[in-house]
Structure 1
């Protein structure tokens, strides 16, 4: 099997290449970011791409977004997504075609070599492989994406809904501006707000979603 590997961790990327080579597969490209994945997949047309979700620059869902783009431009692409955590944004879109050839596993599964290699074969053959934790989390988040937010992210979103700037949010929570910016990026990702939209537009959409949910204004928690 010809495989493209995409992961920003050099150690994991090298480890995957060794594991795959020992199993008789050929790694035709190994890249460390989303654009690199798109370019490698469309150039080499591999039998499978193994993709980490979180890659530079924001380390939220760049790999997942890149996988979606690959499938848009090459619908026959086979993609196995790996993640340390379940990242719901764009996962539905990746699975939406219903044509198979898609997998989403937590990275812990890589340590179970036989299971991981079986997953590769299933996805390459056009099947779908989903980690049970991924299924559970995606089903829960479909009901209300605000449930995916951490308590701190809800606090940030509640303050955003009050019309406060990032600097004002930072002052209110006694945290750095950089911390607030990271929280807002994670909020946008968890709510499935496309990074193609400008920052101000995503901010408005996030606040509208918050207001429509009837969230508790004191805590930002969905009612």
Structure 2
């Protein structure tokens, strides 16, 4: 894959470049601030970009905002955002355009190389990938009056796995159920969340967005 890396920390940026190169990918640009990220994405049109949430000048959410800006100018541009801390609102902001092809992972996940590379590949293919710790926090903090209260325990479990970016087949293997059973549960989730028939991937993104916002 052709990849853009954006992180103002030189050591981490160069470490990512080396890791990706060793896995056979081409890093077409490695940048350290938001405006340069937007320029690099528009110029190179990479298969996916890896972006740190915090970049100059304030080191709050400039990386996230730059990723969103790049996607507004190049719709659907795949973005994998890395963060030091769990912040569900960041994931919701990324998903807001409903286009998918976004990921939000904690930086600790990079140390688990296979998990990181797998998540990166799924984002590049158009999936939505949320860090399991983000999903766990959402589950423990869920309010009873949430729209998700209408879902059964199994349906919530499947929605959480969708949020982590797993395919129907992967969910079926993990839960040791048939693919048809997973499809039925997902159909129930869409219905209960009031998501009308549409492109299947688009509805998955909207379901995850509802999950984040509830």
| TM-score where L is the length of structure 2 | 0.62
Unaligned segments of structure 1, at least 5 residues: 144-223
| SS of equivalent residue, structure 1 residue 122 | helix
What's the secondary structure of 2:12's corresponding residue? helix
CA distance in structure 1 between the partners assigned to 2:90 and 2:106 by the alignment: 16
Alpha-carbon spacing, 1:91–1:85, altered in 2? closer, same or farther (3 Å): same
Alpha-carbon shift at residue 88 of structure 1 (Å): 4.2
| 1:67-146 matches, cutoff 5 A | 67-137=67-137
Distance 1:55 1:75 in 2: 22
How far did residue 138 of structure 1 move? 5.8
C-alpha distance 139-7 of structure 1, shift in aligned 2 (>3 A): farther
Give the Cα separation in 1 of the matches to 2:8 and 2:41. 16
Aligned to 2:16: 16
Q: Which blocks of at least 5 consecutive residues in structure 2 are unaligned? A: 144-214
Bigger radius of gyration among the two: 1
In the alignment, which residue of structure 2 is the partner of 1:7?
7
User: Judging changes above 3 Å, is the alpha-carbon distance between structure 1 residues 112 and 90 closer, same or farther for their aligned structure 2 residues?
Assistant: closer
Mapped to 2, the partners of 1:35 and 1:142 lie a distance apart of: 36
Aligned to 2:45: 45
CA shift, 1:90, in A, is 4.5
Query: Structure 1 residue 91: deviation in Å?
Result: 3.1
Deviations 1:157-197 (A, max 9, x none): xxxxxxxxxxxxxxxxxxxxxxxxxxxxxxxxxxxxxxxxx
- Cα contact 2:91–2:130 (8 A) shared by 1: no
Equivalences, count: 143
Query: Using the alignment, how far apart are the partners of 2:141 and 2:70 within structure 1?
Result: 24
Q: After the TM superposition, which residues 28-43 of structure 1 pair with which residues of structure 2 at under 5 Å, given as runs?
A: 28-43=28-43
Under a length normalisation based on structure 1, what TM-score does the superposition of the two structures give? Answer: 0.60
Shift of 1:21: 0.2
